[in-house]
Amino acid sequence: MTAETEIPALPTARPSGCPFDPPESYTRLREEDPVAKVRCPAGMDAWLVTRHGDVRAVLADRSMSSRGGASAHVNAGGRLDGEPVPGSIIQLDGEAHARLRRMVVAEFTVRRVEAMRAYIQRLVDDHIDAMLAADGPVDLVEDFALPIPSLVICELLGIPYDDRRQFQAQSTVLVSTDKTFEESQHALGGLAGYLGTLFEGKLRDPQDDLISRLIARGEAAGDPLTMPELVVLGLSLLVAGHETTANMIALSTLALLDHPDQRDTVLAEPETAVEELLRYLSVVQFGVLRYATEDVRVGDQAVKAGEWLVAALGSANRDEAQFAAADALDFHRESPRKHIAFGFGAHQCVGQQLARVELQEALTRLFRRIPDLRLAVPRDSLRYKDNTLVYGVHELPITWG
């Protein structure tokens, strides 16, 4: 354990010149101090958990509350003393969380997601057609990676895609780590107000979408969701549904441009390749926050009730004890699904199957149809999202031919 007078800051900086790698100090921490006390930007101290097995144990432990949200520890203006918001599938625990998850999980089963694959394929092909028709280089983020998951989540939730500029701008503020509390609350209020108006319409006139089905499902069970619950739940699904997948599509494309020898494996075994990319990139870059509701042990460290913990997903997914040559992108490694890019336990990402299909279709169709894809700018000119909860690249100018 680190001495109280020498508590270091939570590691956030990536190594210079290695945009895909997590902070270098994770390697030392896994070996020497796997449950280490750190000071978080939000102002509180927390135990930083860096080993794969310990991270899984923390996320699976029902005594570890998600009340602080997923990543509130990295917001300097973060408020960690409030009660969980009704409808927050991220913050709530126990039966309150299970109630929401039961209602939502039916929308993301493997069978239902597979039924959407043909629709996703058409979206991907339409956007590739548009890029190929462009005169000159295009930005893969703006023209491909962002619109595809945005269209999919809008279709699911019954949100007009024409409104995407509004919710994407507000979402960008919500996942930024350098916004003030007031700025975040303003964006949150704007997005909540927009969704509230939209969902009130679905109460009066149900449509064939996830929100309308949630309303009907709750009423049929005699346990209807309130409008505030619907809004918070819808907001969580909307933000998570496009931010993580959009950044994964763009960052995965860049990783494959850096590893052209690996592209054939992506085309031949997309399921395996996507799992390895999820492990290697770990775009939820600052880990997830937990609150100990009782005294527990994490590894060899005693953790007291009332203390915070940060489960470092990026470190766990680079743990050499679990993944041989963990810092290498290797599409032939054994058991790639042991990664925890989607989290673990009761709060594991509910939309993970949809994200997998979107990634599989986007990457395979992109490199099959544009095999000579390449960067249109110098590699060292790219700008990365170091100050957002979800890591990625701001723009990815590409060309071909």
Mean pLDDT across 4-9: 80
Confidence of residue 250 (pLDDT cuts 50, 70, 90): very high
Most confident of 3-17, 41-55, 325-339: 41-55
Beta-bridged to residue 290, according to DSSP, are 309
Mean pLDDT across 151-177: 84
What pLDDT was estimated at residue 177? 81
> What proportion of the chain, given as a percentage, has pLDDT over 90?
71
What pLDDT was estimated at residue 5? 62
Please report the sign of the dihedral spanned by the C-alpha atoms of residue 218, residue 223, residue 228, residue 234.
Answer: negative
Residue of 153, 369, 180, 128 whose CA lies nearest to 244: 153
Mean pLDDT across 123-141: 94
CA-CA distance, 194 to 167, in Å (whole number)? 9
**28 pLDDT more than 70:** yes
**4 pLDDT more than 60:** no
Q: Does domain 4-399 match CATH 2.60.40.10?
A: no
235: Cβ contacts below 8 Å, ≥ 6 apart? 188, 191, 192, 195
**355 pLDDT more than 80:** yes
As a whole number, the mean pLDDT across the chain is: 92
Cα distances (angstroms) measured from residue 18 to each of 221, 257, 328, 379, 394: 51, 14, 12, 12, 16
- For residue range 53-105, what is the model confidence (pLDDT) as tens digits? 999 999 999 999 999 877 889 988 777 877 888 899 999 999 999 999 999 99
What pLDDT was estimated at residue 1? 47
Of 196 and 312, the one with more pLDDT: 312
**163 pLDDT more than 90:** no
Q: What are the sequence ranges of the domains in the chain?
A: 4-399
pTM of the entire structure?
0.93
Of 394 and 262, the one with more pLDDT: 394
CA 211 to chain centre: 21
Mean pLDDT across 117-143: 95
What pLDDT was estimated at residue 2? 47
